[in-house]
Structure 1
Amino acid sequence: MSNRQPHAPVVTASERIYATIRQRIMRCEFAPGAKLDAAEIAREYEVSKTPVRDAMQRLAADGLVIILPRSGYRVAPITFQAVHEILDMRAAIGPHAARQAARYATPEDVAELRRIVREYAEPLDIGAMQQVARRFHVAIARCSRNARMVALSESLFDELERLLRFAIDFTVKAGEHSDEHTALVDAIEKGDGERAAAIEAEHIRRSREFVIERLITLGYLTQGEVGFNAPGRGGDQ
């Protein structure tokens, strides 16, 4: 039998640029609406423009970059429609994930959830707190034993990270989130799926209200835009 080790997968220049630029967009190092210069990016990564163009095509498919005909690229803005869609998906899958977690979570899973919740007691900046929230909710999705739900949860929190880093400081709600998450873990540990789903639904509802209020306060949204795009209104077709 051969003792040769399998080769590590080769990462192409396009994949490397895609992953790095995507991370910089999510962290708002490239702000929403910022112009991206392909030639400058090519120089930074010491590549030709071809892998940069390929990476930008992938980022455009992700909805993170807008391709400007004959004039380069721009980071996609954060719109109310995007915010609404992200939070709507959270409201759709979060309670179901919590309900399934109550059904399938092991004692080890519960212990891990409690460990993550304890991190809210530590001094956290907005980036660190968002990572704690991400780990907590993705861990609940993993407890559901549904791989697709895990992948979707990870994708939604990727998009939420950009929004929260850009405009919203959730650190003021750290204590409230800790209490809600503790109650959620209690329900999961008891196997009470309906209670877990109800707690998660209320948590998401409160978070949604806070996000929209903050975006209005900061001037990124208007009451008219929110009213037009609200569920059941003309913008929610």
Structure 2
Amino acid sequence: MTQAFNARALTAIDDLPGSLAQRVYQSLQEAIMSLTFPPGALIRKGAICDELGVSRSPVSEAITRLASEGLVDVIPQSGTRVARFSIEEIREAAFMREALEVAAVEKVARDHTPDQYAKLARNVRLQAMLVEDHDTAGFYQADEEFHALLMEFTGFPGVAATVATIALKLKRPRMLLLPEPGRNDNAVREHLAIVEAIRDRNPDEARSAMRYHLAQLVSRFDPLEKEHPEFFRSRQSH
């Protein structure tokens, strides 16, 4: 089944930073990551050009970049489609994320500076305020910043970049998950447990707290294939 594509939903690029191709890329990526362009949607370059007021060249350049990230599939003689999900790839990405983040939090618990601990503690306090204010979008952003800080504090830029790439594979299916009552409150408590283990320089406890935290999300991915079959690749196409 062909999924809906509406170029009018694209964010205007006039105020975005970077080159023309970079701005087109940002607009397209935002639409894909938010599921405004759902998995399986046929991407019409002409409609994108008309909506954003650009030529085909920056659109093609942006799509090439999106393809390299696994967000679109360029199919000869068929066109370009937003990549459908694969439950195997989701599980693999979750496995890799856990392996890297658990190792990272262990290192941060051992080697962090007082300033790094203060930034993590401040972020968790912000998360709690956002949850109290029912600001779900703000909480998700603070949540992502919390994990990004942990990766940054390893001192290994390549690790941070790798985890960011893996996170892209999980961010889209995460958008399908309906908010569970109390889940954000629990996430704040799980983050706090991680930060307290870091404060205490307890690598074992930090590792355990991170593994528990990540497991809460992974367990919710498996039912998605049955709930939203139109967004997943058929097993035969793997």
TM bin, normalised by shorter chain, reads 0.7 to 0.9
Q: Give unmatched runs, 5+ long, in structure 1.
A: 1-9, 229-234
Report the Cα distance in structure 2 between the residues aligned to 1:34 and 1:71, rounded to whole angstroms.
12
Question: Is the 2:109–2:203 contact (alpha carbons within 8 Å) kept by the matching residues of 1?
Answer: yes
- The correspondence for 2:72, drawn from 43, 65, 71, is 65
Q: CA deviation at 1:95?
A: 0.7
Instruction: Name the counterpart of 2:194.
Output: 184
Q: Read off the aligned partner of 2:33 and give its amino acid letter.
A: M
Distance in 1 (alpha carbons) for counterparts of 2:101 and 2:82: 28
Aligned length: 214
1:70 alignment partner AA: Q
Residue 143 (1) aligns with residue 153 (2): yes
Q: Which amino acid aligns with 1:92?
A: A
What percent identity do the matched residue pairs reach? 27
**Aligned-partner SS, 2:39:** coil
Matched, 1:218 2:227: yes
- Asked if 1:51 is matched to 2:61, the reply is no
Could you report, residue by residue, the CA deviation over 1:95-116 in whole angstroms, capped at 9, with x for unpaired residues? Answer: 1010011122222222221222
Q: Does 1:110 align with 2:117?
A: yes
Distance 1:196 1:86, change over 3 A: same
5+ long unaligned stretches in structure 2: 1-16
How far apart are residue 135 of structure 1 and its match? 0.9
Deviation at 1:170, TM superposition (A): 5.5
RMSD over aligned CA atoms reads: 2.5
CA 1:91–1:211: 2 relative to 1, 3 Å: same
CA distance in 1, matches of 2:154, 2:190: 19
- Deviating runs (4+, > 6 A) in structure 1? none
Q: Distance in 2 between matches of 1:25 and 1:204?
A: 24
- Distance (Å, rounded) in 1 between the aligned partners of 2:104 and 2:157: 11
Instruction: Select 1:200's aligned residue among 210, 214, 236.
Output: 210
Q: Tell me the distance in 2 between the aligned counterparts of 1:73 and 1:11.
A: 24
Q: CA deviation at 1:182?
A: 0.9
Whether contact under 8 Å (1:64, 1:75) holds in the other structure is yes
Please, which of 122, 141, 155 is the counterpart of residue 132 of structure 2?
A: 122
d(CA) in 1 for partners of 2:21 and 2:41? 21
Q: In structure 2, how many angstroms separate the alpha carbons of the residues matched to 1:137 and 1:201?
A: 13
d(CA) in 2 for partners of 1:99 and 1:82?
26
CA distance in 1, matches of 2:49, 2:78: 16
Deviates more, 1:166-175 or 1:109-118: 166-175
> In structure 1, what is the Cα distance between the partners aligned to 2:225 and 2:28?
28
Task: Name which one, 1 or 2, has greater alpha-carbon Rg.
Answer: 1
Distance change (3 Å), C-alpha of 1:36 and 1:177: same
**One of 154, 175, 181 as aligned partner of 2:185:** 175
Structure 1 Cα separation of the partners of residues 86 and 101 of structure 2: 22
Which whole-Å CA distance do the structure 1 matches of 2:92 and 2:132 have between them? 31
Amino acid of the structure 2 residue aligned with 1:218: E
**1:159 is matched with which residue: 161, 165, 169?**
169
